[in-house]
Amino acid sequence: MNFDLPEELVTLRDAVTDVCEKHLITGIKSFEERQEFAYPLIREMGKAGLFGAPFPEELGGSAAGFLAVSVIAEEISRLAPEFGYAMNMQSMTCPYTIYNWGTEEQARRFVPGLIAGEQIGMFALSEEGSGSDPAGSMRTVARRDGDVYRLNGSKMWITFSHATDVGVLFAKTDPHADPAHTGITAFIVQPKHFEGYSAQPIELPGLSRSLRSCTVFLDDFVVPVENRLGEEGEGFRIAMNALEYGRLTVSGRLTGLAQSALDVARNYANERIIGGKPIARFQLIQERIADATVAVEAARLMSHRVGWTMDQGRVSTRVASRAKYFATQAARLAGDVAREVLGGNALTAEYPVKKINAYIDMLTVGEGSENVQRVLIGEDSLGIKDATRHAMRNRFVGML
């Protein structure tokens, strides 16, 4: 068993570093000041192939696989965390869901533009009262009207929804279905093509004001029947499968944020002099750095395992939930260590500690909250509910 990254993935990681350093880190500043969506920078990521790893070459991808996705997500979040969300919207939860569950015609229409960064994606599942209970609490409805559906309702915490060209959105086609999840249907939406769609940015202190999340409002918003994703009533299954792939990127992103926090703490500990010596020489500092170092390394291995497992054609809630949960713990620990080591300096704009911790806090909720992961892991560990889910779809190998 070889735990080293293959040479081609090391080369890929170096390429991601190059894109971050040449374009993203400095480029985002002007867009943040103007509060404008950073289209050109998303396009640079697409041109560099950062979104295409899980897709075949005929759709514009590289077929590098899911372990590559984990590596890319980690490096982006280590260096330019504002752009971590793009790995979900432009690679996994939006275009990969279309690729995985859509028709060949839908994949050809929508996937190439998304992974090239030419079109902006979104994934709209959560609502104000249905974050962790989408089946029972979803209020957005879709009514069939001839050759179209008319959607009414709202979604919340929807990243990139103020700039979306193509998105995956979930609504109830049968609000009275029993069980409730059988009434949910998935749709490919095109907000710029049809009226009845609006997005209101959510103010989130410490997070990007360019690449942001919004509340989405739907007022008789039209979706052609040909844009339905899967069959009516299949939406909940599609959503849960999409979240498994999303947890791959989120665990990688949390690992990258944790590594970034650890790097800041280590550098500061070696530079800060107290009593004539660096505080890195103090035993308590060493202990805290050791705790964070071990946690980050373990989170990385668990995140890589998710990607490796998916590359073998298996989509496992067990593996993905454990990785997402532990990466959350590791990131929180590393963020806390950075705050402790830097002291008051952690609050200043000179160091990125506040920004790192803001993104860590946001990602503890994304793709299933920390407590949702605990429930999934606990039920599986106790034998109450099997969380392998090998029967879920992975288009690399069809239906397993």
Quote the tokens at residue 287: 């202990």
Half-sphere exposure of 280 (CA within 13 A, CB side): 12
Q: Which of 169, 160, 164, 165 is nearest to 202 (CA)?
A: 160
Cα–Cα distance, 32 to 221 (Å, whole number): 30
- Residues facing residue 273 across a β-bridge: 278
Helix/strand/coil for 35: coil
φ, ψ dihedrals at 5, nearest 5°:
-65, 140
Question: Does residue 101 contact residue 238 with C-beta atoms inside 8 Å?
Answer: yes
Q: Which of 74, 69, 67, 170 is nearest to 115 (CA)?
A: 69
Cα–Cα distance, 361 to 164 (Å, whole number): 24
N-term to C-term CA, the chain: 25
Rounded to 10 degrees, the C-alpha dihedral 292/367/128/97 comes to: 150
Cα–Cα distance, 356 to 261 (Å, whole number): 7
367 is known as an active-site residue: yes
Q: Which of 91, 27, 82 is nearest to 249 (CA)?
A: 91
- Residues facing residue 123 across a β-bridge: 168
Annotated catalytic residue, options 244, 367, 370, 379 = 367
Question: Does residue 195 contact residue 207 with C-beta atoms inside 8 Å?
Answer: no
Q: Which residues are catalytic?
A: 367
